[in-house]
Structures are given as structure tokens and as C-alpha cells.
A and B are shown apart, each in its own frame.
Chain A
Amino acid sequence: MTWSESEIAALVEPDRVHRKAYVDPEIFDLEMERIFERLWIYIGHESQVKNPGDYYLARVGRQPMMMTRDWNGEINVLYNRCPHRGAQICSARKGNAGKLFRCSYHAWMFELDGRLESVPGAKGYEGTRFDMSSPDFHIRKAPRADNYRGFWFASLAEDGPDLKTHLGRAGLALDQLVDRSPDGEIEVVGDCFHMIQQSNWKLFLENQIDASHPGATHESTGAAARSVENEMKKDGKQPPMSYGFLSDFVRHGIDGWDKFGTTGLPQGHCTLEGYMGLRPDDPDTNEYVERMYASYGEEKAEEILGVDLHHVLLYPCNSVQPPLQQLRTIRPIGPDRTLSEIWHFRLKGAPEAIYQRSLAYYYLVNSPSTMVNADDLFNWWKCQHGLESNAIEWVSFHRNAGQDTEEGGIMYSAPSSMSELPMRSMMHAWRDYMTANGAGA
């Protein structure tokens, strides 16, 4: 079928969403066209392309893209497609191209910003419509590329809100990633983990700020971590602080996650607040706080460290955990297939122990051997398969529906709830994007 805008709009009700939003291939294509190839999509951090000649591939919607650092030191976002006969310019995920890109097929040469530098056998083009200076023969640039504090995004729409406007209040997540560094600078560590989610991209976003799932989903991991902690203590050993990331799952029980407020922003961004401040009173943290004071002054440093955002979703593609320096980005491949890239950062100027904390979270929660996402990924896979059933057409987001409050365009969850506000809020934004009729986002 071809979906009309009113049919799409009818998939989203105030407290429930139709399953077709998750499983229908045509809806998926429309999402790529109207959301992923129009909104600001995360490309990567500037530290992924440190040196001139560096490139790093990224997918935006259905488009193969790459971020490059040219010889003027500028960052560019280009389509990874040769203007001659279509070969991908770069096939390795990342690398350094040297002075020029050389297409492997017929050796057209390009500057790192995409401009065509030379073609072999140029004589053959005399008297044809080929024109060295025409953009048709350059590697095409993303219509818009911009960065927010070193995080690069691209929009494949010529116009629409600028990046800062799109991020709005959710830009605080990226501010937090950077401001928590005493030097005001961060750096990606190593390469990211690449994990395929065998499920719809929206299931991932919904899960990230779903306070009602950890106690249930991660019970086994929480229980195992707690039993090891207890045994270590009995043997007079101090369990690593990072085990607490896991034993927390049972400490709060299944119902005890109502302390954590959520918000929903008009662009679809969401936050989960207050889950773990990670401001324990240990020598490493205190040393870190000292360095923050020294850099920013006490008042400003406290303001930075006082922001207790556990999780922020930058719609439609990022999940950011500022207190733990984690950033995940998703790149949908099909209705039931999503690639995720999982990054973590080093706070320059912070004690090594603070990085080790972030690394421990990266390992325990986000690595390919994680005992946490093992159950999340499996749940999403099960949801994807369950939603193939038409026995029940609707996905329920009824928890605390009708109890959200609004202030200044931001939706707030009911106090002491594990409200499904973020899911409702995201799907309302989804409906608006999907029915915006190409009128920008």
C-alpha cells in the first residue's frame, strides 16, 4: 500500500502506537526519507579524523557517507560515491587517504573536500558535457554539515532548522560530555563497538529511557553481581565500584525505578534524569572534583557536575550517557535490522580513575560480551517477532498516560512514576515528522 499522511497519523494515538510503525517495510522507507534523510544525523566526533587525509565512514538513512579532514584542517561530510560511475571512494571503515582520494576504478583524483582534482585521459572529455568545475563531477557534499562542540552531524535536507535549534535543550547532553572534562576537551577512545540489533530502531530508543525495564530485564545480571560482591566482602576484598553498575539492577527491584524523572522535547529528544549521579565520596572522585574546581571555579564546576542526566536521546539516532562518557548511535538498515555504534570518551585533564570508571561501564554494558545488553537485544528481537502478530494491533504506552505535564514545550513525567511519557512523546514527534509533507522538519 502507499501510505497517505492521514493513514500514517492514525498509527499514533495519545497512549498507543500501531504495530505497523515497527514492521512495515514501506513505513521504514518513509522513515528514511522523512526522518533520517532530513533531520540532523550524527556522523562522528572530530577526534575520529584528527589528521589531514583522515576519513571515517557513516551511514545517513540509506546514504553511504564519510567524514573527512581536508588539508586545510577542515572537516567535510561527503557522499561516499564517485561522480564518475558510482564506485565507493572508500571501502575501509576508516583510514588516511593521503593528499588526495584516488578512485580505485578509473583513477579520478579528488581533494579531501570532494573537489575533482584530475581525471586521466582528459582529452576524451573534450567537446562533451563533462566539466571539471561543475559540482556534478565532484564528490557530493552533504547539503548541510555542522558540529556542536566537536560532535559532527549532517542533514541531507537543504533547509530546515539549524543544528543548534534542532538539538535545543537536549544539546546539554553534548555540553555535559565536554564540560565534564577539566580541560574542556574530550577524545574518543579506540574504535567503537559495532553491534547489529535484529529489531526496529525505535525499539532501541524506547528502551534507553525506559525506567520500568531494568529491574525486570536485568535481574539475572544484578543478582549475579550482587552475589559476587557479597562473597568478595566476606573474604575481606573490596569489590570494584563498577560491579555496582550491575548490582543496582536488583538493588532497586522491579518497582523501585520511579525516582527517575523523564522529559520529552518537541523534536523527539528525551531525557532520563537522576538515576546515578556518580558523585561518590572516594579519593578519585574528590581529586577529579578538585581539578574541576581549579579549571572552572567552584560555582561553575558545581553547576556542571550538578546536572544529573543519566540518559539523553537525541532524536532520532543518539543515546548519550554524559556521567559515564558513553555515546551510542544507531543506523537503521531495515525495519528489523539496526546497526549500532558504541563510543566512549576520555575526559582530558581528569584522573585516570575517572576514565577507568567509564571504561568499566563500556565493558560491562556495551561490549560484545556484555551481560546487560545481552538481555536488551534479546527483548527487542522478541518484540520485533511479537509485533509480526496481528492478534493485537497496538503497542501500549498507557503507563501514566494523561498525567504528563507540560511547561514551555517540554513534557514532564508524573512524579514518582515509571511513566511511558518518553515513548509517547517520541511517537508524537515521529508522527509530525512523517506527516510534515516534505516541509522541512
Chain B
Amino acid sequence: MGEAAEKLAAGDRFSSAKVSIETQLAVERFLYRQAEILDEKRWDEWLTLFAEDGHYWMPVSEDQEDGEGVPNIFWENLDMMTMRIRRNNHPQAHSQAPENRLCHVVSNVIVESEDPNGDVVVRSRFHCAEYLRYDIRNFTGKYRHYLKKTAEGYRIALQRVDLVNREGPYEYVIQWWL
């Protein structure tokens, strides 16, 4: 198990840390910014949100503790994310014609724990509407971010996304991260 997955597995998913207003604000700003980058498809910036060995993870079940080596809906490192960006922007990516649009609302931001070095684990909820082929579909669920504090601000070591409807059926694939 990787260090980041271990960190999330060991954390208390119901705890709430007493953090400063500044920390709370900085964390919220980061989450809102990430959602905006996704909705506005600013892919170069998307990649800079993650630590070098960071992962975007959407497990298939809630009791899953690690993404490595087991089935997932998403389990992507920077290489896979780069591939996805290039593939979805390729002129022959015909399932992106017409291009989809995402619109996120992120809320219920609770900092779960804060380490002395400033790293945090934070929970939040999201709702995302996707406009695809002139139709809307909805995704909703919870995020759990393990954010590492760096000189340039937070970087995602691990983002866990638990969809409410993770078991499916899926009406179509999810082409972008949610």
C-alpha cells in the first residue's frame, strides 16, 4: 500500500480537526480552484495540482482501502492523466464531438486532520452536471483529499472520489475526471 493510501485508510473519516480560519480558507480555495480548472478544461494547470506521485482515484466500493492492484473506476497517476488529456483533445477523439461540459459545485468542506508540517486530509461533497451530446447527466459523491503542503501551495497526494452510484449501470463512460 502506498503512503498516501495508508494515510487515508488510517484516518478517521468522521473526525473534524480544529484548524485555523486561514487553513480552512486555503483548503477551500484549493478545492474550488480544482473544480474550476476541471470545468474550464485547463489541463496544464490540472497536472500541476498533483504531487509527482499523486493519484486520482475512484474506487468501485466504499470499503476499498487502496487503488493499487485492484479494480477501480479511475486509478490514474500523472502519466495516465497526461495520456487522457492528449487522447480527449486528439482531433480523432470523436466521442468528444461535441465536446462535453462539466459543472461542479463543491461543498461541506471539513478538514479531517492537519499534520504539524501543514499536510491535511480533507473531506467534501460535490455535485457535477455533465452536458454530453445535448443531454445532461448528473454525478454526485464525496471527495477525500490528502493534500501536501509545499512552497507553491497544496499538492494532491491522493484524491479519493466515492460516487453515490458507483455500482452503475453507467449510461456512458466517464471521459474526464469528476
Contact = CB atoms under 8 A, between A and B. Distances in A.
Given A220-B92, A359-B70, A375-B93, A194 B87 contact: no
Contacts of A344: 71
Contacts of A193: 168, 170
B168 A195 contact: yes
B61 to A, nearest CB: 8
A359 B174 CA distance: 18
A203 interface: no
A190 B86 contact: no
B2 interface: no
Interface string B54-70: 00001011000000011
Nearest to B56: A369
B146 interface: no
A228 interface: yes
Contact of B87 (A196, A359, A367, A371): A371
Interface string B69-109: 11111110001001110111011111100000000000000
Given A195-B170, A196-B170, A369-B58, A375 B94 contact: yes
Given A193-B168, A367-B71, A221 B173 contact: no
B73 A368 contact: yes
Interface in A75-114: 93
Interface residues of A, number: 40
Contact of A227 (B60, B86, B88, B171): B86
B71 A359 contact: yes
Interface in A185-234: 189-191, 193-196, 198, 219-221, 223-225, 227-228, 231-232
A4 B173 CA distance: 39
B69 A221 contact: no
A220 B87 contact: yes
B60 A359 contact: no
Contacts of B60: 190-191
Q: What's the interface size class on B, roughly?
A: 20 to 34
Contact of B79 (A232, A363, A370): A232
Contacts of A239: 79
A359 B169 CA distance: 20
B99 to A, nearest CB: 13
B73 A228 contact: no
Interface in A348-374: 352, 356, 359, 362-363, 367-371, 373-374
B23 interface: no
A363 B71 contact: yes
A228 B173 contact: no
A369 B86 contact: no
Contacts of B150: none
Contact of A367 (B73, B95, B169, B171): B73
A378 B58 CA distance: 23
A339 interface: yes
Contacts of A232: 79
A351 to B, nearest CB: 13
A377 interface: yes
A375 B86 contact: no
A200 to B, nearest CB: 16
B93 to A, nearest CB: 4
Contact of A221 (B58, B87, B171, B172): B87
Given A189-B71, A363-B71, A374-B95, A369 B173 contact: yes
A374 B86 contact: no
Contacts of B174: 368-369
Nearest to A217: B94
A231 B83 CA distance: 11
Interface in A370-401: 370-371, 373-375, 377-379
Contacts of B167: 93, 191, 194
A368 B71 CA distance: 11
Contacts of B48: none
A368 B171 CA distance: 9
Contacts of A190: 60-61, 70-71
Nearest to A373: B173
A350 B12 CA distance: 37
Contact of A224 (B74, B83, B94, B95): B83
A189 B71 CA distance: 8
A315 B116 CA distance: 61
B86 A377 contact: no
Given A220-B87, A367-B72, A371-B87, 8 more contacts: A220-B92, A221-B87, A224-B86, A225-B83, A356-B69, A369-B174, A371-B83, A374-B95
13 contacts: A195-B169, A196-B170, A219-B92, A221-B87, A224-B87, A227-B86, A228-B86, A243-B83, A369-B58, A369-B73, A374-B95, A377-B95, A378-B94
